[in-house]
A and B are shown apart, each in its own frame.
Chain A
């Protein structure tokens, strides 16, 4: 009999790991269906305009091809996310470069490339907007000059919430709105200092190594009408694609079947996007009457699919000279791209995380997501939090430098603790000890010793070294009332052999879903880990346990698996007298006996909101998340003032995650997230040319290689949460939040220059140093104690 508590917290081998190391795991492109055709997408070459003419050149025999146009769509020409503004295929008008216009399919994949080159599209081009600032300027032109030439998101519109060119806005107050405004006024009047700052982040490509890909089939009635569609492919959220297909085809849910196959990385990039490519392949299958596979190549995937929202965050903060925050206003602005997709929920998470892990007596956060003529931005690990946390964690260092305090002192003055309430008014009931977290993280990293030593060494060296840190939190699960709406359901079956199978729509894409859910079931059922199986996520078989996003799988779905397992045990104990403290053999015997008597054995668990959880969507107040993971990350950097190259030389990541379910996987999650965060800060730059991603290749979009990364030291603290299985909280996105601000803080510590925009590449450092009038980056001129760009108003007392 396995020992209790032996499975959760141990590191059994990854469920699907053996197939992966053998190269036997079957990803979408490894699959083929009989008589399968291959599909491709004809995309716009301009950012905005009317399609005037489409010409098919005579060099190609088009009779061999299946061609799908917007007019072929049997249902609505829309890819549904939260709104219905996103066309499945452009119909006469394009709103961003690389927007899908036509679909083609052919039995031979090799024929597609030549065909694509022989379709010519003429446009009447319209002026586009490509940055947040240009989008805002377009609104200003509308208001002041009645010039709507650059209003790309029309107004009025029924399901539209922001304003011209604006998808969504939020206004969040730390208390009653009016009282907070009065409090803010007083805070800014009585403050010793008012510190302002502006912080910006760039787009980031998810860069999963397996590109987006799907295979679709269409089935017909005897009368030749579309009866059902089936799409299998690389994705995070099978039921999102079901929803999209129901609209495109006008079919009920149960006629749109979606099957997730082995998925080679996702990171949010396969959350909303499979709705697009999945609908496209299904349309080609419908019209060609063949199964159709669409696999993007890297260039198409990078140019045509979603990225992390670029952002701009502005802080204005009233502080006492001892570092106490008196009040603040924060404005968060995201670039949503050409269609609304998930921007409103990304903005929501950005808004809530903008305040950081701090107590704000008076706080107002205003946020908005602007429309631009870039391809729509979408989900990427962190989902808005990395953007706004970058702002607040750079700003805390700025406040410290302004006040002549250390970054540590300012944070210690203001950390949230047990019993405090967050900026949304959520009381922190579970233990939170950021003071201890900071102490431990700084010790693990040798921070204080390094601050002193580097300051001394930097005087005599052109390699400037520095250390910096970021303190932050990440909410687990959907924001606010989101989990209540998802209403997730999990099944647990016992199969013929008397052993269990978990049925969920939660998907594995490297992060360990299969493994941790099996651990939870094995632990709860008191069975060996190897005995637990998972059904393939096939929407005709598994219940909807929600999307695999938002760091929700371990905590929310894990808890449901735990509850279903307990229910199964109870059933077996009551109905067929499974003894307490049963052995594996006793479980199998009881399960078989139950099946013999009753036919099938299925336990289920549906999400129940924890009783005290309350959220007000109107006022944006209440319990934003059932739980938070807390962290302090410390970065050490070296900046070479001859090459202007900044390198992260060591990284320490300390996080409090409730319960570490699988130490090897958990470390892997954190290290992988930190690596993406280092890329976000120092390497990964999206270069846009009139809205088209100009560097849509791995050759010139640089993600960190094994030779670029420093040693990453991962440390955990455990404070079990009642909301997760055996106390676990979510950690999937957390590690994406901290690296960028920690690294920029370290670079300021090293060079004395405050960089507030990422990514920060050598040419950016070069230009900045040049503009500061230090052509050679001489040591004397780069005194770390001098802060040259903080704008400070000293308020006379």
Chain B
């Protein structure tokens, strides 16, 4: 067993887990943060995506020990006190979420994308979300959600 220190959504946590336990399972089982989903367990679908030190990673591919000392953002850390983040609001209004199972990962991928490109082109959106599979939407409503979120964030930043 290893003692792993994590900063999760701004809070410091320590867990004692097997060193090779998947970060995904640490989040879901040890920290009860079930918003992070498992879709494939092999880093293809992005349902388990979280931000690790600001980088988008698939938590099913990260051993717990590798995450020691890092700062993580999961879907539970995107909203503030029940207030939806603009990205969440746009996914809600524009139909970016259907069955919802890819949505947490998709929203974190969007956050990562918009941090990198505040005004993303369609190619940048398509490329930036290509690691997150959605079987319901055909992605069109998701693209619209991302574009709208970029608009909202930029308007907010300019104000």
- How close is A589's CB to chain B, nearest CB, in angstroms? 31
Q: In the docked arrangement, what's the CA distance between A267 and B137, Å? A: 12
Return chain B residues, CB-CB under 8 Å to A13: 92-93
Asked whether, in the complex, the Cβ of B141 is within 8 Å of the Cβ of A664, the reply is yes
**Other-chain residue from B92, B140, B142 in contact with A712 (beta carbon distance below 8 A):** B140
A158 within 8 A of B: no
Interface residues as binary, A488-526 with B (CB distance below 8 Å gives 1, 0 otherwise): 000000000000000000000111100000000000000
Select one of A209, A211, A667, A674 contacting B134, CB under 8 A: A209
Query: Which residues of B lie under 8 Å from residue A29 when comparing CB positions?
Result: 28, 34, 37-38
**Residues from chain A with Cβ under 8 Å of B142 in the complex:** 706
Interface status of A611 (Cβ within 8 A of chain B)? no
Contacts of A30 in B (CB 8 A): 28, 34
Q: What residues of B have a CB within 8 angstroms of the CB of A21 in the complex?
A: 84, 88-89, 91-92, 96-97, 100, 103, 107
Binds B, one of A223-231, A527-535, A695-703: A695-703
Residues on A with C-beta less than 8 A from B41 are 297-298
Which of B47, B102, B133, B135 gathers the greatest number of chain A CB atoms within 10 Å? Answer: B135
Produce 1/0 per residue, A378-414, CB < 8 A to B: 0000000000000000000000000000000000000
State which of A263, A297, A709 has its C-beta within 8 Å of the C-beta of B99.
Answer: A263
Please tell me if the beta carbons of B84 and A264 are within 8 angstroms of each other in the complex.
no
Is B125 on the interface with A (CB-CB < 8 A)?
A: yes
Q: Which residues of A contact B107 (CB under 8 A)?
A: 21, 23
With contacts A18-B84, A209-B47 known, is A510 near B100, CB below 8 A? yes
Q: Tell me how far the C-beta of B137 lies from the nearest C-beta in chain A, rounded to whole angstroms.
A: 5
The residue of chain A having its C-beta at the shortest distance from the C-beta of B79 within the complex is A22
Residues of B with C-beta under 8 A to A206: 135
B23 to chain A, nearest CB (A): 16
Q: A262 CA to B103 CA in the complex, in Å?
A: 13
Check if A675 sits within 8 Å of B138, measured CB to CB.
yes
The reply to whether A672 and B84 form a contact with Cβ atoms under 8 Å apart is no
Q: Given A23-B76, A23-B104, A697-B44, are A210 and B37 also a contact pair (CB < 8 Å)?
A: yes
- A707–B47 contact, CB under 8 A? no
Contacts of A46 in B (CB 8 A): none
A93 touches B (CB below 8 Å): no
Cβ–Cβ contact A671 & B138, under 8 A: yes
Question: Are the C-beta atoms of B100 and A208 separated by less than 8 Å?
Answer: no
> Are B138 and A697 in touch, CB under 8 angstroms?
no
Q: Are B74 and A23 in contact (CB under 8 A)?
A: yes
- B 42-72 binary contact with A (CB < 8 Å = 1; else 0): 1011010000000000000000000000000
In the bound complex, residues from chain B placing their C-beta under 8 Å from that of A25 are 100
Taking the complex as formed, is B31 at the interface, i.e. its CB lies under 8 A from any CB of chain A?
Answer: no
Asked if A24 CB lies within 8 Å of chain B CBs, one says: yes
Q: Considering the complex, which residues of chain A in the window 83-119 have a beta carbon less than 8 Å from any beta carbon of chain B?
A: none
Could you give, for residues 666-677 of chain A, a 1 whenever the CB lies within 8 Å of some chain B CB and a 0 otherwise? 011001111110
Q: Which residue of A has the minimal Cβ distance to B90? A: A21
The 8 Å CB contact of A672, one of B78, B129, B137, is B137
Contacting B at CB under 8 A, from A205-225, are: 206-211
Residue of A208, A262, A671, A698 near B44 (CB, 8 A) is: A698
How many A residues touch the partner, as a band? 35 or more
Judge if A14 is at the interface, Cβ distance under 8 Å: yes
The answer, yes or no, to whether A705 is at the interface (CB within 8 Å) is yes
A20 touches B97 (CB 8 A): yes
Among the interface residues A11, A21, A29, A30, which one has the most CB atoms of the partner chain B within 10 A? A21
Pick the most buried of A264, A267, A709: most chain B CB atoms within 10 A of its CB. Answer: A264
- Distance (Å) between the CB of B149 and the closest chain A CB? 11
Q: Which residues from A are CB-within-8-Å of B35?
A: 22-24
- A706 and B125 within 8 A (CB): yes
User: Which has the most chain A C-beta neighbours within 10 Å: B40, B45, B98, B134?
Assistant: B98
* 0 or 1 for each of B129-153: is its CB under 8 Å from A? (1 = yes): 1111111111111110000000000
Q: B126 in the interface, Cβ–Cβ < 8 Å? A: yes
Whether the pair B38, A510 counts as a contact (CB closer than 8 A) is no
Chain B residues near A667: list those with CB within 8 A: 95, 140-141
Say yes or no: A664 contacts B101, CB within 8 Å. Answer: no
> Does the CB pair A27–B37 fall under 8 Å?
yes
In Å, the complex CA distance between A607 and B139 comes to 36
CB pair A262–B95 under 8 Å, yes or no, is no
Q: Are A210 and B101 in contact (CB under 8 A)?
A: yes
Check if B36 sits within 8 Å of A209, measured CB to CB: no
- Set of chain A residues within 8 Å of B84, measured between Cβ atoms: 18, 21-22
Q: Whose C-beta in chain B lies nearest to the C-beta of A665?
A: B95
Tell me if B100 and A664 are in contact (CB < 8 A): no
A178-215 contacts to B (CB < 8 Å) = 206-211
Q: Tell whether A147 is near chain B: CB-to-CB under 8 Å.
A: no
For residue B106, give the distance in angstroms from its CB to the closest CB of chain A.
9
The interface centre, meaning the residue of B84, B97, B133 with most chain A CB atoms within 10 A of its CB, is B97
Is residue B8 contacting chain A, with contact meaning CB distance below 8 A? no
Partner of A264 from the list B37, B44, B95, B127 (CB cut-off 8 Å) is B37
Distance of A22 Cα from B104 Cα, bound (Å): 7
A671-B139, A699-B44 known; 19 new pairs, CB 8 Å cut-off, are A21-B96, A22-B35, A208-B99, A208-B135, A210-B101, A263-B99, A264-B99, A298-B39, A298-B40, A667-B140, A671-B140, A673-B138, A674-B138, A675-B138, A697-B44, A705-B133, A706-B143, A707-B130, A712-B138
Could you give 30 example pairs across A and B, Cβ below 8 Å?
Answer: A18-B84, A20-B100, A20-B103, A21-B88, A21-B91, A21-B96, A21-B97, A23-B103, A26-B34, A27-B37, A27-B101, A207-B135, A209-B37, A209-B39, A209-B45, A209-B99, A209-B101, A263-B99, A264-B37, A265-B136, A298-B39, A511-B98, A671-B139, A671-B140, A672-B98, A676-B138, A697-B44, A703-B135, A705-B133, A706-B130
User: What 3 pairs between A and B have smallest CB-CB spacing?
Assistant: A23-B35, A510-B99, A264-B101
